[in-house]
C-alpha cells in the first residue's frame, strides 16, 4: 500500500533523560499512515529509546506523542495501537507456533473460530502456512522471526515497531527477509517504524530514513535524498563510504581541495571560507595517468569487493577512496576526475583532525 499524507505518529519536542544522560534531545518527527520509516544511527545514538517511547516502554521526559490522533505520552504500552518485534524473537519456548501467535488473542478471550482465522491469516502473511503445530525450538532463526512478526501483526496494530529484527540472522537470510518485509509492508498496509544501524538495510527498505546521532535527528529524507544530498559530513560519512576532505570555497561554484581548484555547483558558502567537501568513491573516475586528470596519485591498495574494486589513491598528502570495476595495481600512477555535481560542499563542522 502507498503511504497516505495523514499523520499516524506525531512526536513533538520529545527529550528523554536518564539521570545526567540526554538520550533524546528535542526530537520532532511525523510518520504518515502506511509509511516505512527507518531510524538509523550508530550504537548509542538513541534509536532504541525513541522506538521504546513510541511503544510506551519508556515515557518522555519532555514533549508529547500522538498516535492515530490520540495523545498517548503517558499511555501504557498495551493501550497503544502498536506492536513491537524485537531482535531476539522473544517467543515462548514451551508453546507451539499457533499458541505463540494466539497468545494475545487468548488473553483478550477472543472466540476460538475467529482466533483460528486470524492466526491462519497471519501465518499466511509471513509465508508459514503449514507450521502452526510446530515446536518453535525446531525452527530456524528466520522462521522464528517470521513467527514473531505474525504474533505482532495478528491483532492488526496501526503501527508495527521493529527493533533490529534481522540482526541475529546470517547475511543470506537477512537479505531474503528484507525483501519479504518489504512485501509484507506493502500488502499489510500497516505503518512500519524500523530501527537499524545498518545503512544498506535502511536504504533498501525505507520510504524515509531518520538519521540520528547523539540523541539528535541529523536528517530526515528519502533514501535517495539521504544518499545524494547529505546535509552534513556526519550523514555523508554514515551513509556509505565517503571521502570527506578539508576544502576552501574560492567563490560560488569553485572550491579548492587536495591542492586543486574544482568547479562545483554549490553556492552561498562565501569567498575563501573553509568547508567540508564530500565525494563518493564511485564518483571519482580513475584512469591511467594523462593530461585529462584533475588529480594525480599513486595506488596504495586495491581490494576486491564482490562487484567492484576499492582502491586507495595517495594524491599529495590526501588519501582518497575510489571504486571501479577494474583493479589498478598498487604502485600504479593514476589520474582522477570528478564531475562538478558530484562534489558536495558542506558547512564545516569538523575540527581539522577529526578524519
Residue with cell 500522538: 66
Q: Whose Cβ is closer to ligand ATP: residue 197's or residue 273's?
A: 197
Residue with cell 525505507: 206
Q: Whose Cβ is closer to ligand ATP: residue 5's or residue 43's?
A: 43
Query: Please, which residues have CB within 8 angstroms of residue 194's CB and are 6 or more apart in sequence?
Result: 36, 37, 38, 39, 162, 165, 202, 205, 206
Interior/surface letters 78-106, b for 16+ CB within 10 angstroms, e for the rest: eebebbbbbbebebeeeebbbebbbeebe
Nearest-approach distance from CB 255 to ligand ATP, in angstroms: 34
Nearest-approach distance from CB 117 to ligand ATP, in angstroms: 37
Query: Please, which residues have CB within 8 angstroms of residue 275's CB and are 6 or more apart in sequence?
Result: 247, 248, 249, 255, 269, 345, 346, 347, 348
**The three grid cell numbers given for residue 317, joined into one nine-digit string:** 598528502
Q: Whose Cβ is closer to ligand ATP: residue 41's or residue 56's?
A: 41
Classify the phi-psi angles of 258: left when phi > 0, otherwise alpha if psi is within -120 to 50, otherwise beta: left
Determine phi and psi for 310, rounding to 5 degrees: -115, 125
Nearest-approach distance from CB 340 to ligand ATP, in angstroms: 36
- What does the binding site for ligand ATP look like in residue numbers (CB under 6 A)? 18, 21, 23, 41, 43-49, 197
Measured CA to CA, the distance from residue 231 to residue 219 in angstroms comes to 7
Amino acid at each position: 500500500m502507498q503511504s497516505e499524507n495523514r499523520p499516524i505518529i506525531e512526536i513533538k519536542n520529545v527529550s528523554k533523560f536518564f539521570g545526567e544522560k540526554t538520550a533524546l534531545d528535542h526530537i520532532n518527527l511525523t510518520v504518515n499512515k502506511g509509511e516505512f520509516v527507518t531510524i538509523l544511527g550508530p550504537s548509542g545514538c538513541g534509536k532504541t529509546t525513541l522506538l521504546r517511547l513510541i511503544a510506551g516502554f519508556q515515557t518522555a521526559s519532555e514533549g508529547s506523542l500522538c498516535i492515530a490522533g490520540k495523545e498517548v505520552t503517558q499511555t501504557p504500552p498495551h493501550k497503544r495501537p502498536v506492536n513491537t518485534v524485537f531482535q531476539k524473537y522473544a517467543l515462548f519456548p514451551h508453546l507451539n507456533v499457533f499458541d505463540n501467535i494466539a497468545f494475545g488473542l487468548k488473553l483478550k478471550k477472543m472466540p476460538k473460530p475467529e482466533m483460528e482465522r486470524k492466526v491462519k491469516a497471519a501465518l499466511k502473511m509471513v509465508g508459514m502456512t503449514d507450521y502452526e503445530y510446530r515446536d518453535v525450538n525446531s525452527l530456524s532463526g528466520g522462521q522464528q522471526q517470521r513467527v514473531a512478526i505474525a504474533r505482532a501483526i495478528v491483532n492488526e496494530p496501526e503501527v508495527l515497531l521493529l527493533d533490529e529484527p534481522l540482526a541475529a540472522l546470517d547475511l543470506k537470510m537477512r537479505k531474503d527477509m528484507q525483501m519479504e518485509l518489504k512485501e509484507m509492508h506493502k500488502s499489510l498496509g500497516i505503518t512500519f517504524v524500523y530501527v537499524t544501524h545498518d545503512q544498506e538495510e535502511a536504504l533498501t527498505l525505507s520510504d524515509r530514513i531518520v538519521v540520528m546521532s547523539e540523541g539528535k535527528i541529523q536528517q530526515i529524507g528519502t533514501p535517495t535524498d539521504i544518499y545524494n544530498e547529505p546535509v552534513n559530513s556526519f550523514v555523508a560519512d554514515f551513509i556509505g563510504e565517503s571521502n570527506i576532505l578539508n576544502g576552501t570555497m574560492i567563490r560560488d561554484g569553485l572550491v579548492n581541495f587536495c591542492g586543486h581548484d574544482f568547479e562545483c555547483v554549490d553556492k552561498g558558502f562565501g569567498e575563501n571560507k573553509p568547508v567540508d567537501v564530500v565525494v563518493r568513491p564511485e564518483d571519482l573516475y580513475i584512469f591511467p595517468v594523462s593530461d585529462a586528470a584533475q588529480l594525480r596519485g599513486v595506488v596504495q591498495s586495491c581490494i576486491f569487493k564482490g562487484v567492484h574494486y576499492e582502491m586507495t589513491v595517495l594524491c599529495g598528502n590526501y588519501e582518497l577512496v575510489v571504486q571501479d570495476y577494474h583493479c589498478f595495481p598498487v604502485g600504479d600512477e593514476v589520474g582522477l576526475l570528478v564531475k562538478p555535481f558530484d562534489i558536495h560542499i558542506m558547512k564545516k563542522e569538523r575540527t581539522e583532525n577529526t578524519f
